[in-house]
Amino acid sequence: MMNGIGCGILSGEKISHVNACGPIAIQEASSDLGIEADLTSISEEIKKDGSNCLRGFFSIFNSRAQLITFPWEIEDFFIKRGYRVAVLYKLDKLDKEKDVAVVLIQEGISFSYHWMAFPDNSKLVIENYFGKDTEIHYVLVIKKK
């Protein structure tokens, strides 16, 4: 039912939210904004802020659901640090010289989603991550208040 949620291919190792695409994208965007944050602290902050029950429920159906980072968790991470987050649905308005964003993409109509940071990943890389089946879901543009 929930096949494909999360990112990466698991080869029997313990599933760890720390190394999932959400915390990695947050870390990359944070670095671009001058915020120091390591993957472990990012993951721990996300998991303690309330959505862990939802992740736990989804993981009943597919253990990879433990890898999920929800859009509101990314927004909250940056809002707590004095940033505002604007939601777009296309990459075309992003400027690599002045914008930092975390982008949620989907592989066609599957349950395969992936978070990527911009400008760490170019528009071209993001738009083609899943090949021709890449769909842009959210572009969370992070700006100083």
For the chain, which domains are there?
A: 17-144 (3.90.70)
| Global pTM value | 0.85
C-alpha to C-alpha distance for 110 and 27, rounded to whole angstroms: 26
What residues of the chain score a pLDDT lower than 50?
1-6, 8-13
Amino acid (one-letter) located at 36: E
C-alpha to C-alpha distance for 95 and 118, rounded to whole angstroms: 9
Helical (H) or strand (E) element with 134: strand 134-144
pLDDT score of 54: 80
C-alpha to C-alpha distance for 34 and 46, rounded to whole angstroms: 19
